[in-house]
């Protein structure tokens, strides 16, 4: 007897020719041959700023014969902001703060000395920035043993995340696991750090291993895909005018 397997879902064909951005309900929305784009929950996909709607329109327009949502990260993130964030704001803010409890920037290698020096040069300035600009003072450690972080620092991170609007909170919820760091995500959100630069800072250990052992093709393909996500989240925050 042959075991039954689910066939892969077929991607929908591109059904529109013209992509535009028009004002709608105090914001801006993408139209596809004049029809307003909707989220998976059938809400109108209204962006709060025209630059963000333009970013979404670019993703819609880049689709060729079929619509590949895997290649539309900003459209998917906008749908999350509209359909989901309002329902789970407290949980999302707590999740951002939880990354601060094991923030990548707090775990320095104990060897070799070259890697330790690279990490300290790249990470310490952002730990200092967080203490100075966010009033979030995290405690660094050496090695991989868990370092308990001050409760007041994590509460402050949660407060900062919770006070964001739905689109900014969605962006933080995307950027924080991408970087493995709530601090890097907060720095990008505020325009203090370029999104791709933050990605490279978060990959210092990985880059060091590549220099030692060479490039693994599969790992490099994944790195390039994640780097594209970093580019998108930088454009996302810029489009929201959040660089302050």
Q: 135 by DSSP, 3-state: which?
A: coil
Could you report the per-residue pLDDT of 169-203, keeping only the tens digit for each?
999 999 999 999 999 999 999 999 999 999 999 99
Please list the alpha-helical segments (H only) found in the chain. Answer: 50-62, 73-83, 89-100, 113-129, 151-162, 166-179, 182-189, 195-202, 204-213, 217-239
Residue 6's CB is within 10 A of a number of other CB atoms, namely 5
Residues of the chain with CATH 3.30.2180.10: 19-83
Alpha carbon distance 219, 207 (integer Å): 11
Q: What is the dihedral of CA 13, 15, 19, 21, to 10 degrees?
A: -100
Alpha carbon distance 241, 218 (integer Å): 36
Question: With contact defined as beta carbons under 8 Å apart, do 124 and 103 qualify?
Answer: no
Residue with tokens 């370092």: 147
Alpha carbon distance 241, 235 (integer Å): 10
Question: With contact defined as beta carbons under 8 Å apart, do 15 and 32 qualify?
Answer: yes
Could you report the per-residue pLDDT of 73-91, keeping only the tens digit for each?
999 999 999 999 999 999 9
35/144: higher pLDDT: 35
| Residue 86 tokens, joined | 């309002």
pLDDT of residue 6: 53
Q: Which CATH number fits domain 88-239: 1.10.3580.10, 3.10.310.30, 2.170.260.10, 3.90.550.10?
A: 1.10.3580.10
Alpha carbon distance 77, 106 (integer Å): 28
Could you report the per-residue pLDDT of 151-161, keeping only the tens digit for each?
999 999 999 99
pLDDT > 70 fraction of the chain, expressed in percent and rounded = 95
pLDDT > 90 fraction of the chain, expressed in percent and rounded = 86
Could you report the per-residue pLDDT of 199-236, keeping only the tens digit for each?
999 999 999 999 888 888 898 999 999 999 999 999 99
Is the confidence at residue 244, as pLDDT, over 70? no
pLDDT of residue 243: 44
How is domain 19-83 classified at the architecture level of CATH? 2-Layer Sandwich (3.30)
Residues of the chain with CATH 1.10.3580.10: 88-239
Q: Which residues pair with 24 in a beta bridge?
A: 27
Mean pLDDT in residue range 19-28: 97
Q: Give the contacts of 191 (CB within 8 A, at least 6 positions apart).
A: 237, 238, 242, 243, 244
Mean pLDDT in residue range 12-27: 94
Residue 87's CB is within 10 A of a number of other CB atoms, namely 9
pLDDT of residue 8: 55
Count of all residues that appear for the chain in the document: 244
Mean pLDDT score of the chain: 94
Is the confidence at residue 3, as pLDDT, over 50? no
Residue with tokens 């749908």: 79
Is the confidence at residue 27, as pLDDT, over 70? yes
Alpha carbon distance 105, 230 (integer Å): 17
């Amino acid at each position: 007897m042959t075991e039954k397997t689910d066939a892969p879902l077929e991607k929908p064909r591109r059904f529109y020719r013209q992509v535009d951005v028009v004002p709608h309900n105090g914001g801006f929305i993408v139209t596809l041959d004049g029809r307003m784009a909707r989220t998976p929950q059938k809400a109108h996909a209204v962006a709060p700023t025209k630059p963000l709607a333009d970013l979404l329109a670019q993703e819609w327009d880049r689709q060729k014969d079929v619509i590949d949502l895997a290649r539309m990260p900003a459209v998917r993130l906008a749908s999350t902001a509209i359909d989901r964030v309002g329902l789970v704001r407290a949980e999302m803010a707590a999740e951002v703060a939880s990354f601060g409890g094991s923030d990548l920037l707090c775990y320095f290698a104990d060897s070799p000395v070259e890697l330790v020096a690279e990490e300290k040069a790249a990470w310490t300035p952002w730990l200092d920035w967080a203490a100075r600009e966010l009033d979030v003072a995290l405690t660094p450690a050496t090695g991989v043993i868990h370092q308990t972080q001050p409760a007041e620092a994590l509460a402050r991170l949660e407060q900062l995340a919770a006070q964001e609007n739905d689109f900014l909170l969605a962006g933080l919820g995307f950027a924080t696991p991408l970087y493995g760091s709530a601090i890097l995500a907060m720095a990008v959100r505020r325009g203090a750090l370029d999104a791709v630069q933050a990605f490279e800072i978060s990959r210092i250990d990985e880059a060091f291993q590549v220099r030692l052992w060479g490039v693994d093709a599969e790992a490099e393909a994944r790195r390039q895909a994640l780097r594209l996500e970093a580019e998108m989240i930088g454009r996302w925050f810029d489009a929201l005018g959040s660089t302050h």
